[in-house]
Amino acid sequence: MNAQDLKAPIEYLKGVGPARADLLRTELNIHSFQDLLSLFPYRYIDRTQFYKISALQNTNAEVQIIGKITAVKMVPQKRGKRMVAVFEDETGQMELVWFQGHKWIRENIKTNTPYLAFGKLKWFGNKPSMPHPELDLLEDFEKKKAQRMQPVYPSTEKLQKRGLTNRKMNTMTFNLLKQCTKGFTETLPEEIREKHKLVSKTKAIFDVHFPASVQDLERARFRLKFEEFFYVQLQLIRRNLVAKHKIKGFPFPEVGDYFMDFYKNHLPFELTHAQKRVLKEIRKDLRSNAQMNRLLQGDVGSGKTIVGFLSMLIAIGNGYQACMMAPTEILAIQHFEGISELAEKVGLNVKLLTGSTKTKERRLLHEELASGELHILIGTHALIEDKVKFKNLGLAIIDEQHRFGVAQRAKLWKKNSLPPHVMVMTATPIPRTLAMSVYGDLDISVIDELPPGRKPIKTVHRYDANRLKVFKFLKDELTKGRQAYVVYPLIEESDNFDYKDLMDGYESIVRYFPKPDYQVSIVHGKMKPEDKAFEMQRFVEGKTQIMVATTVIEVGVNVPNASIMLIESAERFGLSQLHQLRGRVGRGAEQSYCVLLTGHKLSKDGKTRLETMTQTNDGFKIAEVDLKLRGPGDLMGTQQSGVLQLKIADLVQDGSILALARKEAHVLLKEDPKMLLPKNSMVNFTYQTNMKNKQLWNYIS
């Protein structure tokens, strides 16, 4: 069966018809023969084992038994009747029970004929029974050698009710595969198949649905996962190469005087080896004629901002402007304050643009931006408003980019004749498998060491019963002149229950840390921006010792003197959130602490999250655990969740296959960037077909 035949609408398959086709379309998104073959089983029932009735254990296990039906009777019950058959083998007897569909079963059932009964056991007293068994005549079952490991397909309640049971799906898929006598067109080059001992496409499709053994199934799944990853990576790597050849960028041939002056005379600290390595990678990109598209990953406090600033200096030294876009006003203000201080040393003009910027200030800012007097603009998504026009934007830095939608980011590119160089910064460590996939078309730089002199944060988990001891510890640290955060979960800003928690917590803190000895700030999502900023500022200046807050302080607050992060109801936070919150302390030379306070009732995942936090400070290790707990869609947030709908491969489990497939895609494109060599003709055809059908991910990074 060729690719054209597989496009046939599903209603033309034997045993389907228009009504079932409608159900398959709406419930499982199956429109064609190809879609049915791409609905892969999620588990398999081992049909190679048989049981004797006398040896059955008192469990609800799925079993299969060879025997004969010796008698059938109808038994009245409250509503209607049930049909009961006596099923015997040489060791004993049991009942088979049907609560519906009696007529058809009764007409088709044969007594005293060898049958294979398969189903879940139910026990009444010590007697086994099997409701609604699957029945096969023994001679029919023996003919179906391929079905010894029976596939179980994804389903819905509606499908089950309308008779599209797993057995029916089995039969449909089996019938379709019987029609595919010519096999399937190969989609991977022979060289790659031989190198990695991959089975043919035909064998993989047959064996993934109806494997004869566990080994056959493993080989089939490996081949199909490799193929899926291979084509995803081919698209991402090719897009990167095309961008480098087609999308011209502004070449910055010089490092420039601003960079040299700042680096030699004003750098506040020695850069780490990792920061120097990343700067070299950025420098190489900026020197080329292609647009830079780089993801800069670095844990909280690893020094991404200074790398971003030095990159801006290169752009400005070559006669261009730079901008930085942050997801929240608080973070934008903090970047503005930090960068203004650095830029002042080399005489650069830096301005801030957020929703709160006054009209008079905006007018001046727009004029300076258009004339080129303004070197660096920092702000929130206010930067992408149509009124904001740069003279010549050379570098755009986007911080915590997973918080921006695709359309928002794309607007920045349209502010120039040529797109600016783009650097995406994130303090959310992304597991390697996700980075290779979600950001596979970006070049990735990682700052994987912290500045010297930073002491690792000590993290402990305590239960509510120890609250007074925790408060005593807090008091001791405050006596030494330190400051502390106390964070409460606020799931929704309108969630009154959470708000009550926060206010109750604030009152108990104020009782334990009374005025005038202690000053306490409070910040939450219901406050006006100016009130929030006022409270934050009091804490930053050291006028208050304790900041009681919801997660609004997750990103952006930099107070080196704050050495304690106390997280209330820590079990209600996600791992990456806990890690981000912990990163708010440990910014000074003093030893810092993170205390996770929880109730006694913890879920299995909750325990895993807390154990992970107490065992490691490594953001990448934490991200790997988070990926296992939450899955890729949740980890990337709603903007990216559609990106990861794989049919058989799994980003959490199959990282090694992904790395292998990415490596092979790299090798192929390095040798044959346009895939025009005869040996790659089938790869090119499959790639183009996938692109046309939008079967691969299409999104802007």
pLDDT in tens, 9-30: 999 898 888 989 999 999 998 9
Q: What is the pLDDT of residue 560?
A: 84
**Residues 556 and 471 placed together within one structural domain of the fold:** yes
Residue 479 Cα to chain centre, angstroms: 43
pLDDT of residue 409: 54
Domain boundary among 134, 152, 170: 152
What mean pLDDT comes out for the span 524-538?
A: 81
Q: Residue range 380-388: average pLDDT? A: 85
Which pLDDT score, from 0 to 100, does residue 316 have?
96
The whole-number pLDDT of residue 353 equals 94
Q: Which helix (H) or strand (E) covers residue 594, if one does?
A: strand 593-598
**Which is it for the CA torsion 302, 306, 312, 318, positive or negative?**
negative
pLDDT at 506: 86
The identity of residue 506, as a single letter, is: Y
Residue 410, pLDDT > 80, answer no
- Do residues 173 and 90 share a domain? no
- Mean pLDDT over 580-586 rounds to 86
Assess if residue 601 is contained within a domain. yes
Q: What is the CATH number of the domain that holds 415?
A: 3.40.50.300
SS (H, E, C) 310-363: HHHHHHHHCCCEEEEECCCHHHHHHHHHHHHHHHHCCCCCEEEECCCCCHHHHH
pLDDT level of residue 334 (50, 70, 90 thresholds): confident
Structural domain harbouring 113: 48-152
Asked if residue 598 belongs to a domain, the reply is yes
Average pLDDT over residues 89-117: 88
pLDDT of 478 reads: 93
Dihedral sign for Cα atoms in the order 340, 342, 344, 347 = negative
Give the model's confidence band at 401: pLDDT under 50 very low, under 70 low, under 90 confident, else very high.
low
Domain match, 467 and 587 both: yes
576 lies in a domain? yes
108 and 160 fall within a common domain: no
Evaluate whether residue 246 is within a structural domain: no
Q: Does residue 528 share a domain with residue 611?
A: yes
pLDDT at 473 over 80: yes
Q: Is 355's pLDDT higher than 50?
A: yes
**Tokens of residue 115, six digits:** 């049958």
Q: Mean pLDDT for the chain?
A: 85
Residues 57 and 5 in one domain: no
pLDDT higher than 60, residue 364: yes
Q: What local confidence, expressed as pLDDT, does residue 696 receive? A: 47
- Non-local (6+) Cβ contacts of 1 within 8 A are 33, 179, 180, 181, 182, 184
> 473 vs 431, which has greater pLDDT?
473
Mind listing the pLDDT tens digit for each residue in 619-630?
878 888 887 787
For residues 412 and 695, the model is more confident at 412
For residue 570, the number of C-alpha atoms closer than 13 Å in the C-beta half-sphere is 32
pLDDT at 88: 94
Q: Is the pLDDT of residue 155 over 70?
A: yes
Q: Give the chain's domain count.
A: 4
Q: What is the pLDDT of residues 35-48, one digit of tens each?
A: 999 999 988 887 77
Q: Is the pLDDT of residue 377 over 90?
A: yes
What is residue 412's predicted lDDT score, i.e. its pLDDT? 64
DSSP 116-161: EEEEE-EEETTEEEEES-EEEEHHHHHH-GGGGEEEE----HHHHH
Kindly state whether residues 139 and 166 are assigned to the same domain. no
pLDDT at residue 653 tops 50: yes
**pLDDT surpasses 60 at 689:** yes
Lowest mean pLDDT among 73-82, 273-282, 304-313, 605-614: 73-82
Alpha-carbon dihedral 608, 613, 614, 616, rounded to 10 degrees: 110
**Domain of residue 56, CATH code:** 2.40.50.140
662 lies in some domain: no
Tell me if 205 is assigned to some domain. Answer: no
Q: Which of 125-129, 141-145, 258-262 is the least confident region?
A: 141-145
In a 3-state reduction of DSSP, which class is residue 601? coil
Residues 544 and 490 placed together within one structural domain of the fold? yes
pLDDT of residue 413: 60
Where among 136, 152, 168 does a domain terminate?
A: 152
496 and 546 both lie in a single domain: yes
Instruction: Name the CA radius of gyration of the chain, rounded.
Output: 32
> Residue 223: inside a domain, yes or no?
no
Whether residues 352 and 479 share a domain: the answer is no
Look at residue 381 and tell me whether its pLDDT is greater than 70. Answer: yes
- Based on the domain organization, do 477 and 533 belong to the same domain? yes
Question: Does the pLDDT of residue 607 top 70, yes or no?
Answer: yes
Give the closest residue to 587 by CA, choosing from 569, 605, 565: 565
Domain termination residue (choose one: 616, 646, 668): 616
pLDDT of residue 637: 45
* Confidence check: pLDDT of 278 > 80: yes
* Least confident interval from 33-47, 522-536, 667-681: 522-536
The pLDDT score that the predictor gives to residue 331 is 81
- The per-residue pLDDT for 300 is 72
Q: Please report the pLDDT score of residue 533 as a whole number.
A: 78
- Domain membership of residue 597 (yes or no) is yes
Q: Are residues 466 and 407 in the same domain?
A: no
- In angstroms, how far is CA 543 from the centroid of its own chain? 40
Q: What global pTM score does this model have?
A: 0.64
Q: Where are the alpha helices (DSSP H) in 345-460?
A: 359-371, 406-413, 432-438
User: What integer is the mean pLDDT of 115-126?
Assistant: 89
Per the rule left: phi > 0, alpha: psi between -120 and 50, beta: everything else, 236 is alpha
